[in-house]
Amino acid sequence: MFAIAYVRNVLGRQLIEVNGLFERTARDRGFYRDELMARIARTGGVRDDPSVPEDVRRAFVTALEIEPGWHLRMQAAMQRHVDAAVSKTVNLPAGATVDDVRRLYLEAWRAGTKGITVYRYGSRPGQVLTYMEGEQAPVRVATTYAGVRGLRVRDLRGRARSGGGTADRVGGDHGPSWWRPDCAWLEP
């Protein structure tokens, strides 16, 4: 997973998204706090956060907390058993150098992968998924949209509804989309 909590930049709005399983675990085990979610949205993970139990920190590892070489080893392990190319992004921190990328490409070639995707955090302006910076106030993605004017949300049978359920169809100009309570899609 990219991060436990992060900001999704959509059409000029910043939506904070939290991994649903982590949030449920934090609530069930009694360590959920809004301040914790904001801290996680700034760092992406909980690896060094003493307010999160150790077993939870070990269970919720994010892409940037995994060494790039291990991303590659996972891809190579799968590639050995698949004739087609295996798609796996190797996530690099913002401080990664050109030499780091070159070294990964050479390792991928030596490991016999058919392709490799490398992404360095912050390498593109307007990056869609980011960590929260400073004291910005992103909009928390809600799971219900009752009373929100202009949204056309439809359930699996095409009936208009206000949201909820496990998978709802959202009509749009580019065809239907789907949203789950932990991943909301809106149509103005």
pLDDT digits (tens, 9 = 90+) for 46-101: 998 999 999 999 999 998 898 999 999 999 999 989 888 888 888 888 899 999 99
Q: Buried (b) or exposed (e) across 37-52, using 16+ Cβ within 10 A?
A: bebbbbbbbbeeeeeb
HSE, CB side, 13 Å, CA atoms: give it for residue 70. Answer: 7
Helix runs in 86-181, H state only: 98-111
Which three-class secondary structure state does DSSP give residue 44? coil
Residue with the two structure tokens 């992968």: 113
Greater confidence (16 vs 45) lies with: 45
CA distance 105 to 116: 7
**pTM of this prediction?**
0.63
pLDDT of residue 134: 63
Contact 87, 117 (CB under 8 A): yes
User: Looking at residue 139, what DSSP letter applies?
Assistant: E
Q: Measure Cα distances from 158 to 135, 147, 168, 170 in Å.
A: 40, 19, 9, 9
Residue 53, pLDDT score: 96
Residues 6+ away with beta carbon under 8 Å from 95: none
Nearest 5°: phi and psi at 41? -65, -25
Residue-wise pLDDT tens digits, 163-185: 444 444 444 444 444 443 434 33
CA dihedral 105, 110, 112, 113 (to 10 degrees): -10
Q: Which of 75, 69, 59 is nearest to 22 (CA)?
A: 59
120-133 pLDDT, tens per residue?
888 887 777 777 77
- Nearest CA to 4 out of 51, 37, 50 is that of 37
Q: How far apart are CA 144 and CA 73, in angstroms?
A: 40
